[in-house]
């Protein structure tokens, strides 16, 4: 199957950076018109300094290769900024088919050292930025009955890392947003998915070996850390070729796989469940080797439990 974008228009936020720039260029190469959004800030998002050069360089590269792109320098961390990104797509290309909510900043360290300001800065860009850009484009995608929204999340949020408490909290929020928007969008032809990349970029090259804990496999898998190992996944998710929604996909070390939330079959009873009963059944409650289910959404968990209890579903 050839994945192409024809006359489609794709917004990529944070597209001046490592991964976002790769996504924007790949999509443009496949025919899509791209809004290259990037405020050109620091990795942490601190300070007032911004640079138009980030987005401009990517637009220049796309134009140089014969593609269609326009730059936008707004911060997606505000609804007004995200609105202007959306308007850049409408004003220049007249439509929006897909949004890749990729903009991100990073702060890491020991939990005690990270401040509430650190948390809020990450929440504003990751959760706020994803929310704002999806909400800006949503009515137009809904009106046309078509859309693809792709969210950048992280194993820091889905799987955890002791040094990424604030970042993980923000990326976990992005995951929750995707889960809910996937349900809200599907009846309108808007398919939402998320990806968890692992790639060399400005953000990750700032992190010294060991700063996120011991990782003896970093060197072994390092050769598969170019953005090109994530670009195909995100390009596919943003395209009409992708017909599924509500997925989280991990790209790590040359492997792409679906990540999912499963709930063990656990322990079921008719009586109220006291702490002693929980203690007595703890192994069963935690056991994933003897069956688990992956609910499609939160109502589906009710169906599963009703079915497990032999009730009418």
Between 27 and 304, name the residue whose CB sits nearer to ligand NAD: 27
Give the separation between CA 62 and CA 56, rounded to whole angstroms. Answer: 10
Please choose, from the candidates 83, 235, 88, 261, the residue with its C-alpha nearest in 3D space to the C-alpha of residue 182: 261
CB of 8 to ligand NAD, least distance (A): 22
CB of 122 to ligand NAD, least distance (A): 9
Between 125 and 136, name the residue whose CB sits nearer to ligand NAD: 125
Give the separation between CA 102 and CA 227, rounded to whole angstroms. Answer: 13
Catalytic: 167?
yes
Q: Which residues pair with 148 in a beta bridge?
A: 98, 191
- Catalytic-labelled residue, pool 73, 146, 167, 249: 167
Between 14 and 146, name the residue whose CB sits nearer to ligand NAD: 14
Between 206 and 288, name the residue whose CB sits nearer to ligand NAD: 206
Pairing, β 147-152 against β 190-196 = parallel
Question: How many H helices and E strands in the chain?
Answer: 13, 10
Burial of 226 (0-12, 13-18, 19+ CB in 10 A): middle
Give the separation between CA 125 and CA 109, rounded to whole angstroms. Answer: 18
Handedness of CA 298, 299, 304, 305 (dihedral sign): positive
Spell out the residues 6+ positions from residue 158 whose beta carbon is closer than 8 angstroms to its own: 171, 172, 175, 196, 248, 259
What is the number of the residue whose Cβ is closest to ligand NAD? Answer: 17
CB of 42 to ligand NAD, least distance (A): 8
CB of 38 to ligand NAD, least distance (A): 5
Binding site for ligand NAD (CB under 6 A): 13-14, 16-20, 37-41, 43, 45, 54, 75-77, 102-105, 125, 129, 152, 154, 197-199, 201-204
Between 40 and 247, name the residue whose CB sits nearer to ligand NAD: 40
CB of 58 to ligand NAD, least distance (A): 9
Active site residues: 167
């Amino acid at each position: 199957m050839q994945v192409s974008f024809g006359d489609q228009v794709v917004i990529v936020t944070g597209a001046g950076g490592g991964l976002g720039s790769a996504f924007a260029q790949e999509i443009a190469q496949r025919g899509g018109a791209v809004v290259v959004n990037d405020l050109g800030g620091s990795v942490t998002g601190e300070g007032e300094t911004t640079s138009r050069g980030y987005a401009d360089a990517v637009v220049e590269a796309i134009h140089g290769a014969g593609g269609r792109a326009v730059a936008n320098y707004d911060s997606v961390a505000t609804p007004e900024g995200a609105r202007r990104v959306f308007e850049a797509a409408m004003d220049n290309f007249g439509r929006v088919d897909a949004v890749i909510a990729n903009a991100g900043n990073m702060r890491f360290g020991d939990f005690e050292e990270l401040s509430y300001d650190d948390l809020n800065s990450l929440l504003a860009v990751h959760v706020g930025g994803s929310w704002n850009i999806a909400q800006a484009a949503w009515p137009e995608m809904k009106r046309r009955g078509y859309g693809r929204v792709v969210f950048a999340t992280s194993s820091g949020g889905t799987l955890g890392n002791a040094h990424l408490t604030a970042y993980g909290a923000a990326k976990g929020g992005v995951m929750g947003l995707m889960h809910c928007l996937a349900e809200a969008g599907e009846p309108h032809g808007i398919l939402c998915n998320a990806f968890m990349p692992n790639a060399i970029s400005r953000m990750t090259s700032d992190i010294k070996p060991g700063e996120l804990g011991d990782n003896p496999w970093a060197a072994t898998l390092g050769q598969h850390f170019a953005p090109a190992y994530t670009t195909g996944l995100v390009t596919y998710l943003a395209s009409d070729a992708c017909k599924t929604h509500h997925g989280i996909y991990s790209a790590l070390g040359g492997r792409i796989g679906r990540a999912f939330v499963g709930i063990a079959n656990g322990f079921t009873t008719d009586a109220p469940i006291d702490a002693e009963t929980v203690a007595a059944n703890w192994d069963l409650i935690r056991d994933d080797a003897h069956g688990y289910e992956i609910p499609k959404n939160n109502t589906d968990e009710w169906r599963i439990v009703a079915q497990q209890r032999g009730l009418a579903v």
